[in-house]
């Protein structure tokens, strides 16, 4: 999953970014409200973790503007202890959840997974295409009876492709969601990772990852 973290306190931002990446998320970080609003409206995210008190455009203004633009990206509002009015206003403006700072990374990760399941209509942490199954909670993958060892990046790429079997994802879309918006678009890293992934999941089995020539890749729809 791709997360946008909008947090101006560098120590907190660095800590949360590191923790989320260790749990396999792709993370973009905005250090003020103006940058956060720009990224939220110009890129696609699965969840936004939004601090309320920000320099520039504050968190509540960002949230209000997003909802006025009919942007329904799930938002977890982060507030300091005692800021009850801000939490209530945030929920009224369309925040999907909130956390009181300081918080544990494990709690944030659990909230992100729960929110993603709720907003996508999925009640389970499992995704399956044919006999290929991934567990989002344990980050394990199996095909048939075979366990598949994946790197964090390979797992994220596989999860992204398995969201909508049959849908074609361009290399740019994959690069942005799995590696981050500021990654060099001229790199061939997507193709390299796809080759590694195919070798692991399609070896000795019917191919599931398809190339759409001149466009990108898709997970086969069965």
Task: Identify the residue with better confidence: 4 or 214.
Answer: 4
Note if the bond before 91 is cis, omega within 30 degrees. no
Answer yes or no: is pLDDT of 123 > 80.
no
Q: Comparing C-alpha atoms, which of 32, 37, 2 is closest to residue 17?
A: 2
- What mean pLDDT do residues 116-130 have? 76
Q: How far apart are CA 31 and CA 61, in angstroms?
A: 16
pLDDT confidence bin for 87, thresholds 50/70/90: low
β 26-30/2-6 pair status: parallel
The token pair that represents 4 in the structure block: 């946008």
126-219 maps to CATH 3.40.225.10? no
pLDDT tens readout for residues 37-80 = 999 999 999 999 999 889 999 999 999 999 999 999 999 998 87
What is 2-120's CATH topology?
Rossmann fold (3.40.50)
This prediction's pTM? 0.74
Which residues belong to CATH 3.40.50.2300 in the chain? 2-120
Q: How far apart are CA 180 and CA 1, in angstroms?
A: 11
Helices (H), the chain: 10-22, 33-42, 59-68, 84-93, 105-120, 152-162, 171-174, 189-201
Which residues belong to CATH 1.10.10.10 in the chain? 126-219
């Amino acid at each position: 999953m791709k997360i946008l973290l909008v947090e101006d306190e560098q120590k907190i931002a660095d800590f949360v970014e590191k923790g989320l990446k260790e749990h396999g998320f792709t993370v973009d970080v905005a250090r003020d409200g103006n940058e956060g609003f720009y990224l939220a409206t110009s890129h696609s995210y699965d969840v936004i973790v939004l601090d309320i008190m920000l320099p520039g455009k504050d968190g509540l203004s960002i949230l209000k503007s997003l909802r006025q633009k009919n942007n329904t990206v799930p938002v977890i509002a982060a507030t300091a202890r005692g800021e009850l009015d801000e939490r209530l206003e945030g929920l009224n403006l369309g925040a999907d959840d909130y956390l009181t700072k300081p918080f544990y990374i494990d709690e944030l990760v659990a909230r992100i997974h729960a929110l993603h399941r709720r907003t996508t209509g999925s009640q389970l942490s499992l995704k399956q295409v044919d006999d290929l199954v991934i567990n989002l909670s344990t980050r394990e993958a199996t095909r048939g009876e075979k366990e598949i060892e994946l790197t964090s990046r390979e797992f994220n790429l596989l999860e992204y492709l398995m969201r909508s079997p049959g849908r074609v994802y361009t290399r740019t879309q994959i690069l942005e969601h799995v590696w981050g918006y500021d990654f060099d678009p001229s790199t061939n890293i997507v193709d390299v990772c796809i080759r590694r992934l195919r070798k692991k999941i399609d070896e000795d089995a019917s191919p599931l990852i398809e190339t759409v020539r001149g466009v990108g890749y898709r997970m086969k729809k069965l």
